[in-house]
Amino acid sequence: MAGKMKEMVESWSFLDTAESNFRPLVVIELAKGTKEETIEWFTKRIVDKKANGGAQLLIKPLVTENGVENIYLVGASHLRLLLGAEAVGLVKECSDNSMRTFTYSSRKTFKHFADDNHNFLTMAECQYIIKHELENLRAKDEKMIPGYPQAKLYPGKSIVRRLLTSGVLVQIFPLHDREELKKLSHSWYGRVKIGYQPLDDIRCYFGETIALYFGFLEYFTFALIPMAVIGIPYYMFAWEDYDKYVMFATFNLLWSTVILEVWKRMCAILTYRWGTLLMKRQFEEPRPGFHGVLGINPVTGREEPMYSSIKRQLRIYLVSLPFVCLCLYFSLYVMMIYFDLEQWALDYHKENESNFSSLMLYVPSIIYAVVIEIMNLIYRYAAEFLTSWENHRLESSYQNHLILKVLVFNFLNCFASLFYIAFVMFDMKLLRQSLATLLITSQILNQFAESLLPYWLQKRYNRRMKKRMCSKKTDMDLSLADQVNMEKEMGTYLGTFDDYLELFLQFGYVSLFSCVYPLAAVFAVLNNITEIYSDALKMCRVYKRPFAEPTANIGVWQLAFETMSVISVVTNCILIGMSPEVDALFPDSKMDLVLTVALVEHLLLAVKFIMAFVIPDKPRDIQMKLAKLEFESLEALKQQQMKLAAESLQE
Amino acid sequence: MAGKMKEMVESWSFLDTAESNFRPLVVIELAKGTKEETIEWFTKRIVDKKANGGAQLLIKPLVTENGVENIYLVGASHLRLLLGAEAVGLVKECSDNSMRTFTYSSRKTFKHFADDNHNFLTMAECQYIIKHELENLRAKDEKMIPGYPQAKLYPGKSIVRRLLTSGVLVQIFPLHDREELKKLSHSWYGRVKIGYQPLDDIRCYFGETIALYFGFLEYFTFALIPMAVIGIPYYMFAWEDYDKYVMFATFNLLWSTVILEVWKRMCAILTYRWGTLLMKRQFEEPRPGFHGVLGINPVTGREEPMYSSIKRQLRIYLVSLPFVCLCLYFSLYVMMIYFDLEQWALDYHKENESNFSSLMLYVPSIIYAVVIEIMNLIYRYAAEFLTSWENHRLESSYQNHLILKVLVFNFLNCFASLFYIAFVMFDMKLLRQSLATLLITSQILNQFAESLLPYWLQKRYNRRMKKRMCSKKTDMDLSLADQVNMEKEMGTYLGTFDDYLELFLQFGYVSLFSCVYPLAAVFAVLNNITEIYSDALKMCRVYKRPFAEPTANIGVWQLAFETMSVISVVTNCILIGMSPEVDALFPDSKMDLVLTVALVEHLLLAVKFIMAFVIPDKPRDIQMKLAKLEFESLEALKQQQMKLAAESLQE
């Protein structure tokens, strides 16, 4: 088999006319024992000419000491990548510093472009282009995958997606660039320094989605510093006056609105520089898991699985919604059991005061913490199953429904006990204590579970691997094989969801009860500084390199954070209204107190909405640049029409 | 002078090669005594070839028995209009029932298109095209208007706008089509019938902005019917139970959210059918009144007046905002004086009960009503002056600032006394009475002042005109001159602002205090039915025909109505909370009452926002059609790139 492969590789190389050096960019791992006719058909389709429906890429089997192992390296000629950049609608900087959609015919006008400069496209961009081309490799007249009659195909179905769902294709992942990674990790977290992250380098290496997460994390940390600074004296001097708390809470509420609005502007600046703000939305293909009866899509006119939207709505409103409500109810029920247990432990401790009984005091908290984690885990699986069962056609719609489900449950699970303590038990001391415990322990646990543990495991594994490999050869080519073998065993980064969720819950701890515990912002800042380092470590050392994913904003998370800041206006107003100091201001009538609090709350909400409305989402210079581009395209259209009109009227 | 004109007309006619019949579409009235060189230059520019920077339209002086009167009729050849339709980006229906942007080269694919069918474009569309072409007639190397050295020009300045601001051009207006108008008015308001308005015909005759207003008026009237039907038994059986009021208010609040969301969908259906939903936004030129130092616009690279955005912000926040606040304060002050007067009149009546004293009881109300109207009027002028002084570059930005200013003041002026009665005086009986009086009298006054009075004046004038004319000749050509002379004296329709404002205030009366006066919806429905007729009459008989204005939605009014419906949640919750029946439910603790009301209010607001989020803004089939168009354009782009790529790779 290896012999035949070698021969094929040689015969393919004639396609690589533009350049002689093959640069491996993406790794394809096929299942062990994949039938040869399948491999032949698949590789043929990858290298085949565009005109014949191929991807016109380059492919080479990875040769290790064990022979060919069904692992393939994919690359592409420079010309092919440039044409691919045009196909995905990449936006690059022109010589006149404006950002424009790249086209092959206008390539000379772009900054740093030269026909022999192969660094015009970053490696992450090349890998994104190859991924796009592979995913757009579509079945022509094949009725099934050759060798796998059960894996049906129909015209237009993405071959890679069918191979993945049928298990023939194990994974596709982009290769790390060892040298670049070293440079990046050095400037990112290699030295202890005070300063910004190298966001542009992160974006070049990992793509916009991940760079934007780190940008948001950094921005959010800086934005929390004023709150933290104001919060410190409250702890140091044990300020408990009413007016100081009111001042802190008011500042906090307005500040949180401002930072969320300003983030939109920051985000526009970043994504304009990265070109994704201008990138046109591509037409979304159905997600891999989408299934249904084959039919003609009325939009595209193509044959593809169809699924009734009414059925989906029924599944959402009659199954998913009741299930989520049930889970929320169950979560509240568990919380009530926890408070009962707590009470029981307290009573027990009072009755028989002993070492054992004082230990028993901690048992309910520990049990509750463990149960919460288990519930979050089980619910997450259930939510994924349900959302997948709802059979959304588009990945974006699937993601939105999943995020909504998980967000609501996590919000309740994390904050329900705090709400109960605050608004049912009215115990501010216990609230402060619980808040501190929850915030700090969750931060420590998260940091440990998220980065340090996988890092340690990965390191141990790498050391063993290296030892085994290095004892044999130090060949350059084998080093690539080593790298591929090592990287293919690394964990897969599942996206920024969990990272954003963590920040979202942290924002909740900081803002929901800010007037009770001003120190929360301090802990959040400290956590986020280490979080930047541990997340960076995670990205560079623990996980496979993820494919770059262009994005223009943080999507549904902006809405989630804004909703949280609205809820926090309500909770803070109630908390302040309940404080004994405020109570004392209205000795005659509780009515007046409540009415005043309600009035203040409504005013604050109104101010928030007006502020959100008045602050423009994009800075003026970005607006101008966008207007200029729009004007140019309109002008070009007009010129074209004028020419046509003049010609028609001359006739 | 007339002789020379006649000669010119003959020499121009050679340009009209495509057809021999000249159809007058738009009337241009120049000031009496305009210099001949100016007229010659202006008409030359209008008929000049596109390639020479002209508009390539047809123009004829209107010849009446008094000779040439500086009134000109503008028309265009069929071909010219088709090319103009492409330039303004008109969207028309294709033979396959899809809506597409019209281009001259693809003209054969459009429904009802034939080279000899001159009804492919409606008269309103032709007039809109001519207006667009006239406004886009720009100065080349002229430094001033010939004959008027003080009327400066610079390259790119719209000639028509400069002529208007310098007073040489009195007005430009489109001609009515007597026959069409007769048909339209017959089907619109000519016969008493139950049914929908002929919205498509209205749109064909008056354009989308006006048709959309009538569409909204009709929709809003139908939407109010359920509220009116539910409101009637409250009046008939004098229901005053707590639970019935709560039910009515809750229904009202949720219903108002639903109708505003559903309107967006209705609006999308209408504007898709009319093509404006798909129409691309044109690049906005500076508004006529905009002034500043000549500079280079960084967006367009053209020479135009520039005005610092910071200066404008300073004017808005340091002058306009304080002025508006002062006016609001003054309005409240006047209201307080009114209540003092009212009290004084009551006291006077009690002391010396006589016929005179009981008459005196009405005096404060009458004075207040008159003062409110005067204040509204003065404020309107002040707001227009201030907004114009703020020197907004774009007409849309000017309109938004003006609408905001007027809305806030009108809201306070109309509702402040009701708020005072409800939440300071706690007098529900007086509230109901004031509400009824205000609603009904404002409706009657509006209907009278808005349509019947101008209609009557116009009719009298027309009769006199006709008598004078008909006594002389009944020539066909003179009939056109008569028509022009009659129409040019008619009032100018100033846009839909006042009509929407009236509906907005009506919506306030209906929803803000709905639980106190369920009958308000009944009056609103009755008013709106007659409003449709009187507005239709006004459009068809009282005013000059307005230029059609394409629009895809009702713009800032959607936001205004939504804001009103949020405010009405708050007011209704407070009103219900204050009612003695609800009070009696919480005999022990007023606290519990207020807390319950606050909780319900927050829940209602949350439900409102969730509903607004869940109900899609466009119906599914419109979404599909839009997606199809987007897919097609992306596909076309891809095909083009693929072809290019294949060619490049073959080389």
The string of DSSP letters for B100-125 reads EE--STTGGGBTT--TT-TTSS-HHH
CB contact under 8 A, B86 and A645: yes
Q: Considering only alpha carbons, which residue of chain B is nearest residue A285?
A: B631
CB contact under 8 A, B630 and A602: no
Element (H, E) at A568: helix A556-578
Q: What is the pLDDT of residue A321?
A: 94
Q: Nearest CB to B50: which of A570, A634, A646? A: A646
Q: What is the pLDDT of residues A221-255, one digit of tens each?
A: 999 999 899 888 887 887 767 677 778 888 888 88
Task: Enumerate the residues of chain B whose CB falls inside 8 A of the CB of residue A624.
Answer: 298-299
Residue A409, class by beta-carbon neighbours within 10 Å (0-12 exposed, 13-18 middle, 19+ buried)?
Answer: buried
Q: Which of A32-36, A353-357, A451-455, B494-498 shows the lowest per-residue confidence on average (mean pLDDT)?
A: A451-455
Q: Given phi > 0 = left and psi -120 to 50 = alpha, else beta, which region is A259? A: alpha
**Interatomic CA distance for residues B31 and B70, integer angstroms:** 7
Would you say residue A545 has pLDDT above 70?
yes
The string of DSSP letters for B486-513 reads HHHHSBPP--SHHHHHHHHHHHHHHHHT
Q: What is the pLDDT of residue B23?
A: 86
* Helices H / strands E in chain A, number of each: 23, 10
Local confidence band at B2 (pLDDT 50, 70, 90 cut-offs): very low
Q: Nearest CB to B645: which of A83, A282, A299? A: A83
Q: Which of A12-21, A193-202, A456-465, B240-249 shows the lowest per-residue confidence on average (mean pLDDT)?
A: A12-21
CB contact under 8 A, A570 and B299: no
Mutation choice for A interface testing from B56, B138, B559, B649 by most A CBs within 10 A: B649
Show contacts of A16-22: CB within 8 Å, 24+ apart: A16/A58, A16/A77, A17/A77, A18/A77, A18/A78, A18/A79, A18/A80, A19/A77, A19/A78, A22/A58, A22/A60, A22/A73, A22/A75
CB contact under 8 A, B644 and A594: no
CB contact under 8 A, B598 and A602: no
Q: What is the pLDDT of residues B98-128, one digit of tens each?
A: 888 888 888 888 888 887 777 889 899 999 9
Mean residue pLDDT across chain A: 84
Q: What is the pLDDT of residue B263?
A: 95
Q: What is the pLDDT of residue B19?
A: 44
**A&B contacts, CB < 8 Å:** 102
Would you say residue B5 has pLDDT above 60?
no
Q: Considering only alpha carbons, which residue of chain A is nearest residue B98?
A: A299
Residue A226, class by beta-carbon neighbours within 10 Å (0-12 exposed, 13-18 middle, 19+ buried)?
Answer: middle
Q: Considering only alpha carbons, which residue of chain A is nearest residue B16?
A: A649
CB contact under 8 A, B628 and A298: yes
Q: Which residue has the tokens 């004028």?
A: A642
**Interatomic CA distance for residues A279 and A502, integer angstroms:** 29
Q: Nearest CB to B590: which of A105, A282, A591? A: A591
Q: What is the pLDDT of residue B547?
A: 93
Would you say residue B640 has pLDDT above 90?
no
C-alpha distance from A205 to closest chain B C-alpha (Å):
27
Which is higher by pLDDT, A541 or B419? B419
Using DSSP's 3-state secondary structure scheme, residue B303 falls into strand
Q: What is the pLDDT of residue A367?
A: 82
Would you say residue A217 has pLDDT above 60?
yes
Q: What is the pLDDT of residue A14?
A: 39
Q: What is the pLDDT of residue B285?
A: 77
Would you say residue B476 has pLDDT above 70?
no
Using DSSP's 3-state secondary structure scheme, residue A402 falls into helix
Q: Which of A92-96, A198-202, A235-239, B430-434 shows the lowest per-residue confidence on average (mean pLDDT)?
A: A235-239
Kindly report the backbone phi and psi dihedral angles of residue B472, in degrees, each rounded to the nearest multiple of 5, phi listed first: -100, -60
Which is higher by pLDDT, B245 or B27? B27
Q: Considering only alpha carbons, which residue of chain B is nearest residue A638?
A: B87
Q: Which of A103-107, A350-354, A590-594, B415-419 shows the lowest per-residue confidence on average (mean pLDDT)?
A: A590-594
Which is higher by pLDDT, B2 or A219? A219
CB contact under 8 A, A627 and B602: no
C-alpha distance from A300 to closest chain B C-alpha (Å):
6
Highest mean pLDDT: which of A108-122, B31-45, B102-116?
B31-45
How much of chain B, in percent, has pLDDT values that exceed 70? Answer: 91
Using DSSP's 3-state secondary structure scheme, residue B542 falls into helix
Would you say residue A478 has pLDDT above 60?
no
Q: Considering only alpha carbons, which residue of chain B is nearest residue A105?
A: B644
Instruction: Give the C-alpha distances (Å, rounded to integers) separating A30 from A13, A43, A160, A443, B449.
Output: 21, 11, 11, 39, 81
DSSP 8-state assignment for residue B552:
S
Q: For the residues A186-209, what does the mean pLDDT come to?
A: 85
Chain A residues interacting with chain B (CB cutoff of 8 angstroms):
49-51, 56, 79-80, 83, 86-87, 103-105, 280, 282-283, 298-300, 309, 570, 590-591, 594-595, 598, 602, 620, 624, 627-628, 630-631, 634-635, 638, 641-642, 644-646, 648-649
Q: Which of A292-306, B42-56, B565-579, B615-629 shows the lowest per-residue confidence on average (mean pLDDT)?
A: A292-306
CB contact under 8 A, B104 and A645: yes
CB contact under 8 A, B641 and A283: no
First to last CA, chain B: 69
Q: What is the pLDDT of residue A468?
A: 62
Q: What is the pLDDT of residue B203?
A: 93
Mutation choice for B interface testing from A105, A401, A641, A643 by most B CBs within 10 A: A641
Q: Nearest CB to B646: which of A51, A298, A570? A: A51
Would you say residue B472 has pLDDT above 70?
no
Q: What is the pLDDT of residue B26?
A: 93
Q: Nearest CB to A299: which of B49, B595, B628? A: B628
Q: Considering only alpha carbons, which residue of chain A is nearest residue B640?
A: A87
Q: Considering only alpha carbons, which residue of chain B is nearest residue A103?
A: B641
Would you say residue B12 has pLDDT above 50?
no
Would you say residue A16 has pLDDT above 70?
no
Task: Enumerate the residues of chain B whose CB falls inside 8 A of the CB of residue A616.
Answer: none
Q: What is the pLDDT of residue B194?
A: 66
Do A147 and A35 contact (CB within 8 A), yes or no?
Answer: yes
Q: For the residues A60-85, what does the mean pLDDT come to?
A: 84
Cβ neighbours of residue B260 closer than 8 Å, sequence gap 6 or more:
B558, B561, B562, B565, B612
| CA quadruple B151, B152, B155, B156: dihedral sign | negative
Which is higher by pLDDT, B613 or B285? B613
Would you say residue A65 has pLDDT above 90?
no
Q: Considering only alpha carbons, which residue of chain A is nearest residue B82?
A: A645
Do A100 and A86 contact (CB within 8 A), yes or no?
Answer: no
Q: What is the pLDDT of residues A149-163, one digit of tens each?
A: 888 888 888 889 889
Q: What is the pLDDT of residue B645?
A: 66
* Cut 0.80: pTM above it: yes
List, edge to edge, every strand of the sheet that includes B169-174. B58-64, B67-75, B26-30, B169-174
Q: Considering only alpha carbons, which residue of chain A is nearest residue B89?
A: A638
Do A645 and B83 contact (CB within 8 A), yes or no?
Answer: yes
Would you say residue B139 has pLDDT above 70?
yes
Residue A431, class by beta-carbon neighbours within 10 Å (0-12 exposed, 13-18 middle, 19+ buried)?
Answer: buried
**Interatomic CA distance for residues A615 and A254, integer angstroms:** 13
CB contact under 8 A, A649 and B83: yes
Which residue(s) pair with B67 in the sheet? B64
Local confidence band at B17 (pLDDT 50, 70, 90 cut-offs): very low
Q: What is the pLDDT of residues B419-466, one digit of tens each?
A: 998 888 888 888 888 888 888 878 887 777 776 777 777 777 777 766
Q: For the residues A265-275, what does the mean pLDDT come to?
A: 93
Q: For the residues A302-331, what does the mean pLDDT come to?
A: 91
Q: Considering only alpha carbons, which residue of chain B is nearest residue A280?
A: B634
C-alpha distance from B268 to closest chain A C-alpha (Å):
18
Q: What is the pLDDT of residues A363-398, one digit of tens each?
A: 787 788 778 878 888 999 999 999 999 999 888 889
Q: Nearest CB to A79: which of B49, B627, B649? A: B649
Give me the amino acid identity at B315.
R
CB contact under 8 A, A87 and B638: yes
CB contact under 8 A, A598 and B598: yes
How many residues does the structure list for chain A? 651
Instruction: Give the C-alpha distances (Å, rounded to integers) separating A439 from A187, A363, A508.
Output: 30, 19, 10
Cβ neighbours of residue A123 closer than 8 Å, sequence gap 6 or more:
A25, A174, A177, A180, A205
Task: Enumerate the residues of chain A whose CB falls inside 8 A of the CB of residue B104.
Answer: 644-645, 648
Q: For the residues B332-353, what does the mean pLDDT come to?
A: 89
Q: What is the pLDDT of residues B499-535, one digit of tens each?
A: 999 899 999 988 888 778 888 899 999 899 888 888 8
Mutation choice for B interface testing from A19, A50, A573 by most B CBs within 10 A: A50
Which is higher by pLDDT, B29 or A542? B29
Mutation choice for A interface testing from B107, B618, B631 by most A CBs within 10 A: B631
**Interatomic CA distance for residues B197 and B214, integer angstroms:** 8
Task: Enumerate the residues of chain A whose CB falls inside 8 A of the CB of residue B620.
Answer: 309
Task: Enumerate the residues of chain B whose CB falls inside 8 A of the CB of residue A282.
Answer: 634
Would you say residue B487 has pLDDT above 80?
yes
Q: Nearest CB to B602: which of A50, A570, A628? A: A570
Q: Nearest CB to B51: which of A50, A630, A646? A: A646
**Interatomic CA distance for residues B362 and A194, integer angstroms:** 75
Q: What is the pLDDT of residues A615-645, one digit of tens each?
A: 899 998 898 888 888 888 877 777 776 677 6
Q: Nearest CB to B627: which of A56, A87, A299? A: A299
Q: What is the pLDDT of residue A392?
A: 92
**Interatomic CA distance for residues B43 and B23, integer angstroms:** 17
C-alpha distance from A634 to closest chain B C-alpha (Å):
7
Mutation choice for A interface testing from B50, B137, B401 by most A CBs within 10 A: B50
CB contact under 8 A, A620 and B644: no
Q: What is the pLDDT of residue A334?
A: 93
Of B185, B145, B186, the residue nearest B166 (C-alpha): B145
Mean residue pLDDT across chain B: 84
Q: What is the pLDDT of residue A18?
A: 40
Q: Nearest CB to B591: which of A594, A644, A646? A: A594
